[in-house]
């Protein structure tokens, strides 16, 4: 059953500007080590960091909380499988909120075009409503 949906878009130039202005400090504050490694592994890092940022926002909305109740940006991680499929991994408070809401999985789709990164998230629950 769908428990929540979230969508977010961000201008890639905005993330590129943050990377130029704050560098590693920005990356360490926002992204997990695994996300940063993936972003640098292929192509344009600003593009990849923008998609990952949009994913964090979309997932927080799908959880129904946004970045409140103690959820931080690093509590929401997007890992790309070898096939390229992105998968959401929740940590710490985000994981606790999901479990408390009966959310068992969060699906994510990422794309970018014309300088904009977009993420769409669907939170899934195994609990059926009566």
Going by the annotation, the residues of the binding site for Mg(2+) are 8, 57
Q: Which residues are part of a known binding site?
A: 8, 57
Query: According to the 3-state scheme, what is the secondary structure of the chain?
Result: CEEEEEEEEEEHHHHHHHHHHHCHHHHHHHCCHHHHHHHHHCCCHHHHHHHHHHHHHHHHHHCCCCCCCCCCHHHEEEEECCCCCEEEEECHHHHHHHHHCCEEEEEEEEEEECCEEEEEEEEEECCCCC
């Amino acid at each position: 059953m769908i428990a929540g949906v979230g969508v977010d878009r961000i201008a890639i130039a905005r993330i590129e500007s943050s990377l130029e202005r704050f560098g590693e400090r920005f990356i360490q504050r926002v992204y997990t080590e695994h996300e940063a490694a993936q972003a640098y592994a292929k192509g344009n890092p600003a593009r990849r960091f923008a998609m990952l940022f949009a994913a964090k926002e979309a997932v927080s909305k799908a959880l129904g909380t946004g970045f409140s109740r103690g959820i931080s940006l690093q509590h929401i991680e997007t890992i790309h499988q070898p096939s390229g499929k992105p998968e959401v991994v929740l940590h710490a408070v985000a994981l606790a909120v999901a479990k408390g809401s009966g959310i068992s999985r969060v699906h994510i789709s990422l794309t970018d075009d014309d300088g904009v990164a977009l993420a769409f998230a669907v939170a899934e629950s195994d609990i059926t409503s009566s």
